[in-house]
Structure 1
Amino acid sequence: MARKVGKRKTREKRILEPATYLVASEGTKTEVLYFQQMADGLSRKYQGYEDRVTVPNFDIEGMGTSNFRLIEDVVAYLRTSPRLFENIWLVFDKDDIPENYFDNAIKKAASLGWQTAWANDSFELWFLLHFEYLQSGIMREQYTEKLDMYMKKEGLEGYNKNDPRVTEILQNRRNSAIKNAQRLEESYEMNVPASQKNPCTTVHHLVREIIELERIIDKIKMQERYF
C-alpha cells in the first residue's frame, strides 16, 4: 500500500519590518551590555507613542564568535528568526587575527548589505575616545589602565567592562566620542585597509544612528508641547 503523501508545510513569508535592528557582536558581555542599555533607553523614550510613530526595535545578540564565523552565525540566526530585519550591524574587534580575515569580513558583510561597527584594535578604544583623542596604537592593557583612571575620576572603583554604571558615564560623553572617532577615521586615506588603521573604529556610526532615532521622538515630544 502506497504511503499517503501530505502537503509539505510551507514557511510563512516574512515581511521586512521597518526600524528593526539586529546588532550582533562577537563579545557576549561588554558590547551586549553597552548596546542593550542604549536600546532600552530608546524604548523608554518611545513608550506611549506606538500608535503615532514607527517604534525602533533592537535585538542585541552576543554571538561569541568573530569575523567570518560571526557572519556565518548571523546567517544561521536570520534563517530561523521570525523577523526580517531592516538593519543588520556586526560588532567586532581586530584582536590578533590575520589581517586579511579582518578586512575580508568587513567586505563580506558589506556584500550582504550589512554594516560593521568594528574596532582596531579593541572595543575599549571606543570607550576611551569618550575621554581623549588617541592618535597612536596602544597595548590592550593600556586601554584598561587609562579607562581605570578615568572611571576613578568619575567616582567608580575603577574600570569594570561589565559594570552598567560605565555605560551610564559614557552616555554623557557621546558627542565627544563621536567627534574623536570621526576625526580618527578621517585621518586615514580611504584606500587604507581597516586592518592597517590602528587605532580606528566605526562604532560611532551605529551610535550616531541610535542618537538620530532619539532625536526623532524628542522632536515629536517638543512639537506636542507647543502645538
Structure 2
Amino acid sequence: MARDNSPKERQKKQLERKQGRRASYDRILIVSEGSKTEPLYFSEIRAAYRLHTANVEVRRSEPGTAPIQVVQYAKELFEYGDRHKNIQPRAFEQVYAVFDRDDHRSYFDALGLAESLDGILRNDAKQAVTFRAIASVPSFELWLLLHFEDIQTPMHRDEVMRRLRQHIIGYEKGAGRAFATTRERLEVATQRAERLAERFTCYTDPEPYTGIVALVKLLITLKA
C-alpha cells in the first residue's frame, strides 16, 4: 500500500507530534491590551518557570487596546485560531483577556462580555472553557508598584507610573525585564494584591485593584 506523503497528511502528523509533546496541564491563551509590556511580562514568566510553549500562548490584541476589543479578539482567536501564528482553533482550556481600567469607555462592557463567555465556549475536546477578564484599576503598573508599596487608596495611572519609576529607575512601558526586576518581591506583592481583592473588585472603580495576581499565581504553579 502506497504511503500517503501529501502536504495535508504531513501537516496532520506534525500537529499530532506537537500535541504529543504538549505538557499535561491546561492549554492557556493570554491576550493583552498592551502591545509589549504585558506580553513581555507573561513571556518572562513562561520562560522563568519553563512552561511549555505549546500550552501557554501570549498574544497582544491586534484590533486595538480598548477592553472590548481585547475580549472580542481573545474570543475570535480562540474560536478560529490563526494559522500564521500556529494557533489552532479551540485549542485551549483557559482564555484570559488582560486590560486596564484607565479611561476606557468600554471597560464595563468588556467585563460583562467576558463573564458571559465563561463556561459557554467549547474547545477541541468538547470541554467547557474558562474565559476570564484580568483587569487592573487603574493600570497594569499598579501590580508592579505593589512589589514596592502597599497601595490602599485610588490613584491615577500617571501617579502610579511616577511612583513606580522611583523604584525601577528608567521604567518605560515595553522595556522588558519587568518580571526579572520585581521577582524577588513577588510574595509581598501577592499578599498586597490579595488584600486589595478582599476589599475591592474590578467593578469598584476607582478603588485600586489588579487581577494580575491571580494569573501570575496560576502560571507559576503549573507543572512544566
Q: State the TM-score, normalized to the length of structure 1.
A: 0.72
Instruction: Name the counterpart of 1:133.
Output: 150
Say how many residue pairs are matched. Answer: 183
Q: Which residue of 1 aligns with 2:124?
A: none
2:107 to 95, 102, 116: 102
Structure 2 residue corresponding to 1:38, chosen from 33, 45, 48: 45
> What letter corresponds to residue 111 of structure 2 in structure 1?
I
Q: Kindly report which structure 2 residues correspond to 1:207-222, keeping only aligned pairs within 5 A, or say none.
A: 207-213=216-222, 216=223
Instruction: Indicate the residue corresponding to 2:71 in structure 1.
Output: 71
Structure 1 position 110, deviation (Å):
2.0
Offset of residue 161 of structure 1? 2.8
Aligned position for 1:200: 209
Which residue number corresponds to residue 188 of structure 2? 176
Percent identity between the aligned chains?
29
User: What is the distance in 1 between the residues matched to 2:144 and 2:74?
Assistant: 25
Return closer, same or farther for 1:165/1:26 CA change in 2, 3 Å cut-off: closer
Structure 1 residues 56 and 198 mapped into 2: Cα distance closer, same or farther (>3 Å)?
A: farther
- For structure 2, the 5+ residue unaligned runs are 1-11, 13-18, 82-87, 119-130
What is the Cα deviation at residue 90 of structure 1?
A: 0.7
CA distance in 1, matches of 2:188, 2:66: 28
State the 1:193 CA deviation: 6.3
The structure with more radius of gyration: 1
The one-letter amino acid paired with 1:173 is R
Paired residues of 2:39 and 2:59 also in contact (CA < 8 A): yes
CA gap of 1:115–1:187, structure 2 versus 1, over 3 A, is: same
CA–CA distance in structure 2, aligned partners of residues 74 and 25 of structure 1: 9
Matches within 5 A, 1:17-166: 19-43=26-50, 57-63=55-61, 64-81=64-81, 82-83=88-89, 84-98=91-105, 101-113=106-118, 114-152=131-169, 158-166=170-178
Contact in 1 for aligned 2:74/2:95 (Cα 8 Å): no
Aligned amino acid, residue 120 of structure 1: V
Structure-to-structure mapping, 1:1-16, within 5 angstroms: none
Q: Whole-Å Cα distance in 1 between the matches of residues 109 and 183 of structure 2?
A: 32
1:52 alignment partner in structure 2 = none
Amino acid at match of 1:29: K
Find the residue that maps to 2:221 and give its secondary structure: helix
Equivalent AA in structure 2 for residue 212 of structure 1: T
CA distance in 1, matches of 2:206, 2:159: 18
Give, in whole Å, the separation in 1 of the partners of 2:142 and 2:159.
10
Q: CA RMSD in A?
A: 2.5
TM-score, structure 2 as length reference:
0.73
Moved over 6 A (4+): none
Query: How far has the Cα of 1:129 moved from its partner?
Result: 0.7
Report the secondary structure of 2:114's partner residue. helix
Contact 1:103 1:195 in 2 (8 A): no
Shift of 1:34: 0.5
